[in-house]
């Protein structure tokens, strides 16, 4: 679990992922245009250099939008700093399993704003947006600091379910059960 870091003073929203067509990062950039009183950070990039360059050129004029590029979460401290300072993580994709970024964002006390609700995660720890209503969803999270309560609940859930000690205990239980099962099969053979 990451150490608690202070959230940004000004509402801050991030996107973490590939800038590929089905991820619809353009919706995040358009949200930044619609909400000039909020800071936006788009971590990632497109695999196609031409697409990456075109997106950066088209949206770089938005004053409240930063595009730091692809950040390696294992070696780049800025990656954790982005999630640590952010209030909300936006997922603009139409199809997802349970993205690791949801879990990582929740571990950093970020609420989730998403069009998809894998495992009920977005609706439980954020807001499930309707198509065409991303800005409305963001306002719902920012009004009355609702994002803070949902982000804290997400942090507690991730700590309870995904922390290293819990993961190690689950692995140990699985190994013990596998060994017991093998002994039972061996004894019956």
Domain boundaries, the chain: 12-163
What is the pTM (predicted TM-score) of this model?
Answer: 0.86
State the fold for domain 12-163: Rossmann fold (3.40.50)
Residue 57 neighbours by CB under 8 Å, 6+ apart: none
Q: What is the CA radius of gyration of the chain?
A: 19
How many other C-beta atoms lie within 10 A of the C-beta of residue 28?
A: 25
The tens digit of pLDDT for each residue in 154-164 reads 999 999 888 77
Cα dist. 109→44, 94, 120, 151, 189 in Å?
20, 23, 17, 4, 52
The tens digit of pLDDT for each residue in 109-159 reads 999 999 999 889 999 999 999 999 999 999 999 999 999 999 999 999 999
Residue 37 neighbours by CB under 8 Å, 6+ apart: 10, 11, 64
Cβ(48)–Cβ(18) under 8 Å? no
Dig out the tokens for 153 from the structure. Answer: 């609940």
Helix, strand, coil distribution of the chain in percent, nearest 5: 55, 15, 30
User: Mean pLDDT by 10-residue block, N- to C-terminus, for the chain (189 residues)?
Assistant: 82 94 94 97 96 96 95 81 94 81 94 93 95 95 96 94 76 76 68
Measured between alpha carbons, how far is 149 from 145 in angstroms, rounded to an integer? 7
């Amino acid at each position: 679990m990451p150490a608690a870091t202070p959230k940004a003073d000004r509402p801050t929203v991030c996107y973490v992922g590939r800038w590929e067509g089905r991820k619809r990062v353009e919706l995040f950039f358009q949200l930044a245009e619609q909400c000039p009183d909020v800071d936006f950070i788009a971590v990632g990039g497109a695999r196609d250099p031409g697409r990456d360059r075109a997106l950066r050129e088209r949206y770089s004029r938005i004053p409240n939008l930063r595009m730091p590029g692809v950040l390696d979460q294992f070696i780049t401290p800025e990656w954790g700093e982005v999630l640590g300072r952010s209030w909300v993580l936006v997922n603009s994709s139409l199809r997802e399993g349970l993205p690791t970024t949801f879990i990582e964002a929740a571990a950093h006390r970020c609420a989730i704003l998403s069009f998809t609700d894998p495992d009920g995660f977005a609706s439980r720890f954020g807001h499930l947006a309707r198509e065409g209503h991303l800005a409305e969803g963001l306002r719902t999270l920012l009004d009355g600091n609702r994002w803070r309560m949902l982000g804290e609940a997400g942090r507690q859930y991730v700590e309870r379910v995904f922390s290293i000690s819990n993961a190690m205990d689950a692995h140990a239980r699985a190994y013990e059960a596998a060994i017991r099962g093998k002994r039972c099969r061996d004894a019956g053979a």
